Structure 1
């Protein structure tokens, strides 16, 4: 356990909590946390995860701009995605994981290239969903984080494994909070139409 891992742990917990509260600053905190984990994963040869962190920085910037575009007149509300978006997302996640897995298994000394790549690909899908405020993003994070816990324990990244366990709890809370906000927004919309 290094000082770098401890700092990344603290920033990640803070970032996920801020996301669940729908505070836009979450994206900036997440950028710092992601950068630290890029270094950590490279050091333990989880190359797909290290590369993923670089892409995550881009996704965090996208999330910042996506949430920043919302205005009082046109707010970005949490909501459920259409089934077509879900289907396309799953196909993209699988294809991305297989492509990355082939690359990392063939051309690098990456540890657990197929699992790491599939998790990386679906993490990007979940990040995109979060940037769009799809409530399903939290369910995806619960599944991914549970698998990440096992992978990081296998790599002796015990604090990181514990962090991802906390992520599961935070994701469950975020899921609950976004659903409650969605229900409240729907109720307010129905009342405004009725009044």
Structure 2
């Protein structure tokens, strides 16, 4: 009985998240999932730009809300990607909050090692090809773009977890692909949010670059976990 009640509650939640909340740009209806995702996404990216571990709780909550949004839009890779994001978000929360440099008390900004660039390029090529084949089989609405952006996003997310400064130019490149994709799917508010993501990515790039220079020039200092 409890299991059936819980399943019904999940179904009711999905129906509510799918229901129209307001009209976005061009008169397109925006669902509650888009509206809530907009708020959580701004919080996640904003906190990430200023190196606060609070970006990860916002990110995980955003992933949960966006699962029904992308599933309804027929973007199945993006739907599955939210589960991967949630796991990486949990790792990122621990990694940023505890840090790897005991003297600092927080994870410093660093650069991606050369060997990881080669591995990322290989993963992007092989992962996109494999996921594209899967998405064609399940009749995804945009199989190649969905596959490419999903694999690329995982690489960028991992760079953010590791606090590599290159995460931001990677997100800039991804956002330029996501914006027209979301417009094509009628997700106007999500497309607008991605424009906000793009602006935050440029800002975060500048902030992290200053931190990178400071971290390499100054001696280590202790810091609060949730600053």
TM-score (norm 1): 0.93
Q: Equivalent residues in 2 for 1:76-95 (5 A)?
A: 76-95=107-126
Task: Report Cα offsets for 1:105-156 as digits up to 9, x if no partner.
Answer: 12x1211111101100110000000000000000000000110001001111
Shift of 1:65: 1.6
Aligned residues: 188
Instruction: Please state how far the C-alpha of 1:72 moved relative to its aligned partner.
Output: 4.4
1:96 aligns with 2:118: no
1:66 is displaced (CA, Å) by: 1.4
The structure where helix makes up a greater share of residues is 1
Equivalent in 147, 150, 163 of residue 180 of structure 2: 150
Shift of 1:73: 1.7
Q: TM-score, normalised by structure 2?
A: 0.80
Superposition RMSD in Å: 1.2
Quote the Cα distance in structure 1 between the aligned partners of 2:41 and 2:125.
26
1:52-67 mapped onto 2 (5 Å cutoff)? 52-67=81-96
CA distance in 2 between partners of 1:48 and 1:178 (Å): 30
Higher-Rg member (1/2) = 2
Gapped regions of structure 2 (runs ≥ 5): 1-29, 220-227
1:69-102 deviation digits (Å, cap 9, x = unpaired): 3154254211111221111112112211111111
Secondary structure, counterpart of 1:109 in structure 2: coil
Q: Which runs of 4+ in 1 moved over 4 A?
A: none
